[in-house]
């Protein structure tokens, strides 16, 4: 998915795409080849768009994720 496509998604589709991307990342990580750059980049773009759209602090989210 391209950055422009991500920005044009509705709120519901953005959350759905984030979930799908996360699930895909887990499957890739558990496979022999590992997480792809495409999935990693797409997840980063989606997270940035969610932070911008929902007025979230990305630094706090990343800090909380590093604790897990």
Indicate the pTM of the whole model. Answer: 0.88
Domain map of the chain by residue range?
A: 10-67
Structure tokens at 48: 């940035």
Per-residue pLDDT tens digits for 11-42: 999 999 999 999 999 999 999 899 999 999 99
CA atoms within 13 Å, Cβ hemisphere of 57: 4
Distance CA 56, CA 52 (A): 7
Closest CA to 53 of 14, 21, 26, 24: 14
CB 40 within 8 A of CB 30: no
């Amino acid at each position: 998915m391209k950055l422009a496509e991500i920005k044009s998604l509705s709120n519901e589709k953005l959350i759905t795409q984030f979930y799908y991307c996360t699930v895909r990342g887990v499957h890739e990580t558990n496979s022999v080849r590992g997480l792809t750059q495409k999935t990693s980049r797409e997840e980063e773009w989606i997270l940035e768009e969610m932070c911008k759209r929902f007025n979230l602090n990305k630094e706090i989210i990343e800090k909380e994720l590093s604790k897990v």
